[in-house]
Amino acid sequence: MLLYYASIAASIVHLDRPISELGPASLNRGLTWLSTQEWVTEEVRALLRQGLDHLRAHGEDEKLQHLRRESPDVEQVVTTLDDHDRLIAYVLGLSHAINIAFFTALAESGEAAPRLARLSSTTFDAQLAVASLVAGESPALYFEIQALNQYGGDSLAALVEAVTRLQSLVANQDAAGFARLMRRGQSYLQDRAAARQT
């Protein structure tokens, strides 16, 4: 049995494929069990562990390939935990906050929902559709997304600053500043779209 699994481990490590009819789960169990036995020499144990590492890496590659086949628009992004949290504060935290602010402003506007329901615009309808999805989600989960991310305050502060700047431009009748704000946003979104194509 040891020779059998050691041969399989060697073929996985050196040939990048198992010389066995056993499936990945059975190979994983056998290699794992043998690698923990006291009577196995350290040299053979190291080979078994290498085989396990290769097998697991290959299994992850197959899962990613399956995911890519099933969802061709999905892209794997490798990042550090710290970068993930900083970026997700904008990807999730900011987008949720915008929608929560949107439906809060509507709910506290004094305008009755049935009255607004009779009016429509493409922008309003699109924003209302997304905000309705957010409003239907778990308040506890969405609070945790905002509160537990150490970078969540940064995206909320950016939102407050952007709305304050917009409010100031409109109050001061600054059409040129307003146009600069719109052009900057357009440029940013074009850069993002271009980056998604590469």
pLDDT digits (tens, 9 = 90+) for 81-111: 788 888 889 988 999 999 999 999 999 998 8
CB-based burial label for 88 (10 Å; 0-12, 13-18, 19+): middle
% of the chain exceeding 90 in pLDDT: 37
Q: Are residues 7 and 39 in the same domain?
A: yes
Give the CATH number of the domain where residue 127 resides. 1.10.3660
Q: Are residues 54 and 126 in the same domain?
A: no
Q: Are residues 93 and 158 in the same domain?
A: yes
Q: Are residues 98 and 118 in the same domain?
A: yes
R_g (Cα) of the chain, nearest Å: 27
CB-based burial label for 55 (10 Å; 0-12, 13-18, 19+): buried
Lowest-confidence pick of 49-53, 73-77, 188-192: 73-77
Q: 15 pLDDT band (50/70/90 cuts)?
A: very low
Quote the pLDDT of residue 104.
Answer: 96
Per the structure block, which two tokens stand in for 146? Answer: 């905002």
**How many domains does the structure of the chain reveal?**
2
Q: Dump pLDDT digits (tens) for 125-180.
A: 999 999 999 999 989 888 988 998 899 999 999 999 999 999 999 999 999 999 99
170 vs 73, higher pLDDT: 170
Query: pTM above the 0.75 mark?
Result: no
CA-nearest of 197, 176, 185 to 75 is 197
Q: Are residues 54 and 85 in the same domain?
A: no
Q: Where is the domain boundary, 39, 70, 101?
A: 70
- The range of the structural domain enclosing residue 66 comes to 2-70
Per the structure block, which two tokens stand in for 28? Answer: 């994983």
CA atoms within 13 Å, Cβ hemisphere of 46:
3
Q: Are residues 93 and 58 in the same domain?
A: no
Q: Are residues 103 and 48 in the same domain?
A: no
Q: 184 pLDDT band (50/70/90 cuts)?
A: very high
| Contact present, 166 and 103 (Cβ < 8 Å) | no
Q: Are residues 65 and 86 in the same domain?
A: no
Q: Which of 3-7, 16-20, 95-99, 113-117 has the highest mean pLDDT?
A: 95-99
Q: Are residues 17 and 56 in the same domain?
A: yes
Domain assignment present for 181: no
Q: What is the dihedral of CA 134, 135, 138, 141, to 10 degrees?
A: 50
Domain assignment present for 86: yes
